[in-house]
Amino acid sequence: MKIKITSKLYLLVLVLSSVFFIKADAASVRIKDIVSVEGIRDNQLIGYGIVVGLKGTGDDLNGSPYSKETMIGLLERLGVNIRDQQSSLKSKNVAAVMVTADLPPFSRHGTRIDVTVSAIGTRKDLLGGTLLVTPLVGADGAVYAVSQGPVATNAFSAKGKSNSSITKGVPTSGKITNGAIIEKEVAFEFKDNFTLNLSLHNPDFTTAKRIAVAINKKMGQGVAQALDPATVRLIVPKQHRKIPLLFITEIEQLTVTPDQTAKIIIDEQNGVIVMGQNVRISTVAISHGNLTIRIVETPQVSQPNPFSNTGKTEKVERSEITIDEGEDRKLTILNEGVNLQSLVNGLNALGVSPRDMITILQNIKAAGALQAELEVK
171 with 202, same domain? no
Give the span between the Cα atoms of 3 and 319, in whole angstroms.
Answer: 11
Span 215-223, mean pLDDT?
A: 91
The CATH number assigned to the domain holding 209 equals: 3.30.1360
161 with 272, same domain? no
- The domain boundary, picked from 208, 224, 256, lies at 256
163 with 215, same domain? no
pLDDT at 216: 93
Residues in the chain, total: 377
Comparing 5-19, 84-98, 209-223, which segment has the lowest mean pLDDT? 5-19
Q: Say if residue 115's pLDDT is above 70.
A: yes
Q: Which residues contact 301 (CB under 8 A, 6 or more apart)?
A: 313, 314, 315, 316
Q: Say if residue 3's pLDDT is above 50.
A: no
278 with 164, same domain? no
Per-residue pLDDT of 267-290, as tens digits, reads: 777 767 777 777 777 776 666 555
Report pTM. Answer: 0.61
pLDDT at 24: 42
Do the beta carbons of residue 256 and residue 29 sit within 8 Å?
Answer: yes
CA–centroid distance for 232 within its chain = 28
Give the chain's end-to-end CA distance (angstroms, integer).
38
pLDDT at 110: 92
Give the span between the Cα atoms of 297 and 97, in whole angstroms.
Answer: 58
- The domain boundary, picked from 206, 235, 256, lies at 256
229 with 344, same domain? no
Count the domains in the chain.
3
Q: Say if residue 347's pLDDT is above 70.
A: no
47 with 177, same domain? yes
108 with 207, same domain? no
272 with 369, same domain? yes
- The domain boundary, picked from 209, 227, 256, lies at 256
66 with 92, same domain? yes
245 with 368, same domain? no
Do the beta carbons of residue 85 and residue 105 sit within 8 Å?
Answer: no
pLDDT at 4: 40
Amino acid at 52: V
Per-residue pLDDT of 186-202, as tens digits, reads: 877 666 678 889 999 98
201 with 273, same domain? no
Q: Say if residue 12's pLDDT is above 50.
A: no
Q: Domain range spanning residue 362?
A: 2-24+264-376
138 with 212, same domain? no
Stated as kind and residue range, the H or E segment containing 273 is strand 272-275
